[in-house]
Amino acid sequence: MTRRITVLGAGVMGTGITTLALAHGIPVTLVDLETAVLDRARASVGRQLRHAQLLGAAPDVPPGELTTSTSAADCAGSIAVIEAISEHAEQKDKILREVSGIVDPGTVIVSNTSGIPIDELAASVERPDELVGIHFMNPPYLITMVEIARGPRTSDRTMESVRDLLNLVNRRGIAVRDAPGFVTSRLLHPMINNAARIVGEGVADAAEVDELMAGCLGHPTGPLRTADLIGLDNLADSLFALHERLGDPQFLPCEQLLDHVRAGRLGRKSGSGFYEYEEITR
């Protein structure tokens, strides 16, 4: 059997996860709703493969072959399916249901959700023991650590397959107990939300916030550059999903963040967010 994997969703993360797999010689079927999105993703993957090579982040192997499709049914025969569609529980439920009915038993189904509990998503699949969370970090082809979310029903066998899969792409994972936002989003998302709030209150501008967090606290880019990299729409969706599940008001996306989303300033992917970007940086 070839080691093909299927990635669902060709946005920021689906594209980056695809690049990671291809760079390690693994063929990928990448699925999204529209051909135009998939065409853009193919171009991004090409750029990202070069980016990985430039930074010495890709092994010296021929890249895997990329196939794109608008049908999730094309996941049949893959060794793993990685769901990276928008952070909306209903949409994830629908696609997980579809995929779960198609793949053979023993195929790991992975969700890259930022924070929806795996056990909640497990209600959508036929074999809850084969569902697991792998929270890849952005950009997945450069960041070597991932957060693994093991649901209460995720089996040992699935955890072994996860380890095999991560070995194939040379990633190290730390498994945590299933909980809204796991560890990283539970900590990062409210920090970004507060950073945006601080800008909204006029305490400091975005560049000053980031420079302070980088220069004083060793943050690699500052929270608002990170926000732009994540995508402000996804950030707002993830915060809403966390607020719904944790009840804590610090997770409610602040107006400053929502204003950007309403204006279509979604961060790097749209060319502007807390910062402006040139075409080539997307």
Partner 1 sequence: MTTDQAVDSVPSTISSYLETKAGGPVEHDADLAAAGVLTSMVAMEIVVFLESTFGISIVGRDLKLDNFRTVDSMAALVTRLRENRDNA
Ligand X SMILES: NC(=O)c1ccc[n+]([C@@H]2O[C@H](COP(=O)([O-])OP(=O)(O)OC[C@H]3O[C@@H](n4cnc5c(N)ncnc54)[C@H](O)[C@@H]3O)[C@@H](O)[C@H]2O)c1
| Residue 239 engages ligand X in binding (rule: CB under 6 A) | no
Which residues in the 49-88 window bind ligand X by CB under 6 A?
Answer: 84-87
| Residue 35 engages ligand X in binding (rule: CB under 6 A) | no
Q: Closer CB to ligand X, residue 62 or residue 220? A: 220
Per-residue CA distances from 216 to 58, 59, 274 (Å) = 32, 35, 20
The footprint of partner 1 on this chain (CB under 8 A) covers a number of residues equal to 12
Q: Which helix (H) or strand (E) holds 37?
A: helix 35-54
| Residue 280 engages partner 1 in binding (rule: CB under 8 A) | yes
Ordered DSSP codes for 162-220: HHHHHHHTT-EEEEEE--TTTTHHHHHHHHHHHHHHHHHTTSS-HHHHHHHHHHHH--S
| Pairing assessment for the beta strands 66-69 and 80-83 based on DSSP bridges | unpaired
Binding segment toward partner 1, per CB under 8 A, in 46-54, 68-76, 182-190, 195-203:
46-54
Q: Closer CB to ligand X, residue 25 or residue 275? A: 275
Q: Which residues contact 198 (CB under 8 A, 6 or more apart)?
A: 204, 209
Which residues in the 52-71 window bind partner 1 by CB under 8 A?
Answer: 53-56
Residue 7 interacting entry, from partner 1, ligand X, none, C-beta within 5 to 8 Å by type:
none
Which residues in the 213-242 window bind partner 1 by CB under 8 A?
Answer: 221
Tokens at residue 252, please?
């409610």
Q: For residue 3, with 0-12 CB atoms within 10 Å meaning exposed, 13-18 middle and 19 or more buried, which class applies?
A: middle
Query: Cα(82)–Cα(14) distance, rounded to whole angstroms?
Result: 8
Interface residue with ligand X among 91, 170, 221, 281 (CB under 6 A) is: 91
Q: Closer CB to partner 1, residue 128 or residue 139? A: 139
**Site for ligand X, rule CB under 6 A:** 8-14, 31-33, 37, 84-87, 91, 95, 112-114, 135-136, 138, 230-231, 234, 238
